Amino acid sequence: MSQLYVLALTSQKYPSLTVDGRRIEFIEVGNVVAAIERRAAPPAVSEIELRSQHDAVNALFSQADALLPVRFGAWIDEPELSNVVLRQQEKILESLELVRRRVQMTVRFLAPPAGEREDQPPRLHPETGTEYLRARRNAQQWMPDEAMALKTAVRDLVVAERISPSSEDRGGSFHRASLRQVPSLYHLIARDAVAAYGTATLPFRTATITISGPWPPFAFAPDPWL
Amino acid sequence: MPRPPARALPPPPPPRAEMATLVPSQETSLTDVIDNLLNRGVVLNADLILALADVDLVYVRLSALLCAADRIFPPPR
């Protein structure tokens, strides 16, 4: 029996489309619309599948005014989808309004190896839960010096901002050569402000800062913990 | 009577491909694909919520357990 594989949530129905051999339909779930595929099994995590889903979400994003991508692997049956969406419906609708006609730009900072610069992110080596939570909060708030200048340069273009903690401090193994990744910035900007954002951030494109986009607003989904 | 100079047309909008050039390299693109799809986006599955919590959830539960133990066991005399 096929279940639903959910790619994104939107605020209105669109005609079905086929992307990369994937037939995508739109079904209403309360006041939200889910972009889904009917699949007999969930996709395995692989680069091919990830790229295929990314392409599909981008194709949906080019059609939809407001779209929230769903995290990879959302293979569920219809009652469960209704249950989960209806429980978060208010937050989802708020987020859809926030991202309407907007795109995400991603700024990643790559820090040189520890000891080569003074502004290092706080490390997480807690002995108690309180210390862990304090260190985690500090790590999330920490930004390299260049970030503040970049934030100032794009201040007038940015509608909303999200910050992710360092993948290293989250126990990840995200290394690129000898560089360590530190917090990433996600900026939500108007769709027609991409060129201006690109110009404003041009001086900041260095070996240790990468800026990419425009992307669908992946980082502006409602937080499942709130 | 001399003809008025032709009005200059506004510059054409930037081609859509220009936006794509903001993605600097294939390597970054793969980083973004992984980050976007595995770390971001709306979470719909309950089991995925548990999976993504990883260490944080363990800490929260551990903290709750330690707090509870603090209240269950009498203070040392």
Using 50, 70 and 90 to split pLDDT, how confident is the model at B60?
very low
pLDDT exceeds cutoff 80 at A220: yes
pLDDT tens-place string over residues A32-52? 999 999 999 888 888 899 999
In chain A, where the domains are located:
3-99, 102-220
| Lowest mean pLDDT segment, chosen from A20-29, A68-77, B56-65 | B56-65
**pLDDT, position A94:** 95
Which of A212, A220, A226 would best serve as a mutation to test chain B binding (most B beta carbons within 10 A)? A212
pLDDT exceeds cutoff 90 at A129: no
Does residue B52 lie in a domain region? yes
Cα(A198)–Cα(A53) distance, integer angstroms: 26
Question: Which residues have C-beta within 8 Å of that of residue A173, sequence separation ≥ 6?
Answer: none
**pLDDT, position A179:** 47
Q: Which stretches within chain A are classed as H helix?
A: 47-63, 78-99, 129-141, 145-153, 194-200
**pLDDT, position A146:** 82
**pLDDT, position B18:** 39
Fold for the domain defined by A102-220: Alpha-Beta Plaits (3.30.70)
A212 with B35: Cβ contact below 8 A? no
pLDDT tens-place string over residues B13-49? 444 433 444 454 445 578 888 888 888 889 887 555 5
Task: Pick B32's closest partner by Cβ from A133, A198, A212.
Answer: A212
The average pLDDT across A115-140 equals 64
Query: Which chain A residues contact residue B66 at CB under 8 A?
Result: 129
Using 50, 70 and 90 to split pLDDT, how confident is the model at B66?
very low
B24 with A205: Cβ contact below 8 A? yes
Query: Which chain B residues contact residue A57 at CB under 8 A?
Result: 37
The average pLDDT across A23-27 equals 96
ipTM value for the complex: 0.76
Q: Which domain holds residue B60?
A: 44-77
Question: Are the beta carbons of A208 and A110 closer than 8 angstroms?
Answer: yes
B45 with A74: Cβ contact below 8 A? yes
Can you spell out the DSSP letters for B31-66? Answer: HHHHIIIIISSB---HHHHHHHHHHHHHHHHHHHHH
Share of chain A above pLDDT 70, in %: 80
B22 with A212: Cβ contact below 8 A? yes
A221 with B39: Cβ contact below 8 A? no
Residue type, B49: I
Query: Which chain B residues contact residue A129 at CB under 8 A?
Result: 59-60, 62-63, 66
Does residue B11 lie in a domain region? no
Which of B28, B42, B63 would best serve as a mutation to test chain A binding (most A beta carbons within 10 A)? B42
**pLDDT, position A131:** 76
Alpha-carbon torsion, ordered A178, A179, A181, A186, to 10 deg = -140
pLDDT tens-place string over residues A155-207? 999 999 998 765 444 443 333 334 455 678 999 999 999 999 999 999 988 87
Question: Are the beta carbons of A68 and A102 closer than 8 angstroms?
Answer: no
pLDDT tens-place string over residues A2-21? 799 999 999 999 999 999 89
**pLDDT, position B59:** 44
Cα(A121)–Cα(A139) distance, integer angstroms: 6
Nearest to A5 by CA among A51, A73, A52: A73
**pLDDT, position A101:** 95
Tokens for A188, please give them: 């939500």
Question: Rounded to the nearest 5°, which phi and psi values hold at A104?
Answer: -105, 135
Residue A189 bridge partners (DSSP): A103, A158
**pLDDT, position A133:** 75
Total domains present in chain B: 1
Nearest to A213 by CA among A104, A83, A113: A104
**pLDDT, position A1:** 62
- Say what the pTM is: 0.72
pLDDT exceeds cutoff 70 at B11: no
**pLDDT, position B68:** 45
B49 with A81: Cβ contact below 8 A? no
Question: Are the beta carbons of A60 and A10 closer than 8 angstroms?
Answer: yes
Question: Are the beta carbons of A166 and A110 closer than 8 angstroms?
Answer: no
Nearest to A9 by CA among A178, A149, A224, A216: A216
